[in-house]
Homo-oligomer: A and B are copies of this chain.
Amino acid sequence: MAVTLADVAARARVSAATVSRVLNGNYPVAENTRARVLRAVADLEYVVNGPASALAAATSDLVGILVNDIADPFFGIIASAVQSEMSTATGQHIGNGAHPRTGDSDTRRNPGSGPALVPAGEKLAVVCNTGGSPERELMYLTLLQRQRAAAVVLTGGAVEDAGHAAAVTAALTRLAAAGTRVVLCGRPPLGPEAGAREARATAGTRTDLEARIFQRAAHKAGAALSPVTLAFDNRGGARRLTEHLISLGHQCIGYIAGPVGRTTTRHRLEGHRAALAAHDIPDPAHRTVHGAYDRAAGYDAALELLRRDPTLTAVIAANDTAALGACAALRERGLRIPGDVSVAGFDDLPFSADAAPALTTVRLPLQEAGARAGRLAMGRETPPPGEITTLRADLMVRESTSSPYS
């Protein structure tokens, strides 16, 4: 059927072993032999059989990046950074649309037509969209283990459910045991404690079966698994944001939280509440509304908050997208921002600075996080001591917030 190593070997009049060696560049080969082989490869348009080589070598060049929502730039930015960092060729983002450069770089270019020359060691970084579904997350993890992926990067918040936490921990443990590098990026650390706390928190509603499953997985995982973790300081950022509003004079702040049962949602909400508590500002339950991390949810939530308490002077959303939805809702209600109501978001996605008014928010170093995760996944950067790094979350004050007395 397809061209195989043997065909190339025959044409180059060498053994298959030699062809393998020049292709993998991990063994000395005479220069002219090497040239002959390369020519044969080009002539035959030979393309390595990935499965075969992965089988023989017991490793593959697949790297999986799991995201909760690929349509959300939050994840797109992280994934993009992970990928660029992983590509050996320093492929730049050709944003300005310049014609592809044809200059010869250091790397030898493709001689003639035929398949693109893939640098040895090049990884196939792929992003998998879980859509926030625990089942799909586990499925992808299994699928990646099947492929004997070289590395797996999990991004974004996790679902808070003891059973699922245990299952993920188990899956990651298996992956790690199989030699796959595991990196958590913008995701809270794993570990028995995390799961245990959840287990306690939801104990009332959990079945015995779930409890047992969890115990088993937690036990197996034990201290054995502690993947490299890059976490965002969601709590701290949220707290600083709310404190900013408080310092402006706001006392009556509505909070549009993310979906319930997600770590990110909880951490941001905790930060918000910590700020309120620190200033002895009451926080009645009706001032918090949960919703998805999208525009429509922000829109609906803002309306709901207003309905519950028309005296609100500020609204904080769990992310920028929802914040903009909230802005739209407030505007339609005839309220001016920040004149009548201040609005703030979280993440500092690119469009936030361009909104009208520009959105006050919390900047997360998405790019940096992705890049580091990429290097970690490639094994090009040694994990930080303790294996868990917390990334800064800086307050970005812009035009959408002001004093309520103005």
Residues of A in contact with B (beta carbons under 8 Å apart): 1-2, 45, 47-55, 58, 60-62, 64, 69-73, 75-77, 79-80, 83-84, 87, 89, 91-100, 102, 110, 112-116, 118, 122, 124-129, 131-136, 138-148, 159, 161, 163-164, 166-167, 170-171, 174, 178, 213, 216-217, 258-262, 265, 290-295, 297, 299, 321, 324-325, 327-328, 331, 350-351, 354-356
A295 & B116 in contact (Cβ 8 Å cutoff): no
Closest to A130 in B: B91
Q: Given A91-B133, A260-B99, A297-B95, do A51 and B126 touch, yes or no (CB 8 Å)?
A: no
Q: Could you tell me if B94 and A166 are in contact, using CB atoms closer than 8 angstroms?
A: no
Contact of A135 among B77, B116, B142, B297 (CB under 8 A): B116
Task: Report chain B residues within 8 Å CB of A355.
Answer: 355-356
Contact A79 B70 (CB under 8 A): yes
Interfacial chain B residues near A297, Cβ < 8 Å: 95-96
Contact A51 B47 (CB under 8 A): no
Contact A47 B115 (CB under 8 A): no
Assuming the contacts A97-B292, A131-B93, asked whether A87 and B136 have C-beta atoms less than 8 A apart, the reply is yes
| Copies of this chain, tallied across the complex | 2
The answer on a CB contact under 8 Å between A100 and B139 is no
| Known A115-B174, A299-B354; further 9 A-B contacts with Cβ < 8 A | A51-B51, A72-B76, A92-B133, A96-B297, A97-B291, A112-B213, A124-B143, A127-B127, A324-B351
Question: In the assembly, what is the distance between CA of A3 and CA of B262, in Å?
Answer: 34
A108: min CB distance to chain B, Å: 13
Contact A91 B213 (CB under 8 A): no
* A146 partner, pick from B50, B83, B159, B290, beta carbons under 8 A: B50
Q: Is the CB of A258 within 8 A of B97?
A: yes
- Residue ID in chain B nearest A350 by CB atoms: B295
> Residues of B contacting A94 with CB < 8 Å?
131-133, 259
Given the known interface contacts A118-B139, A126-B64, the answer about A100 and B164 at a Cβ–Cβ threshold of 8 Å is yes
The CA-CA distance from A159 to B49 in the complex, in Å, is 28
> Contact: B217 with A113, CB < 8 Å?
yes
Let me know if B77 and A71 touch, CB within 8 A.
Answer: yes
B79, B141, B167, B293: the one contacting A113 at CB < 8 Å is: B167
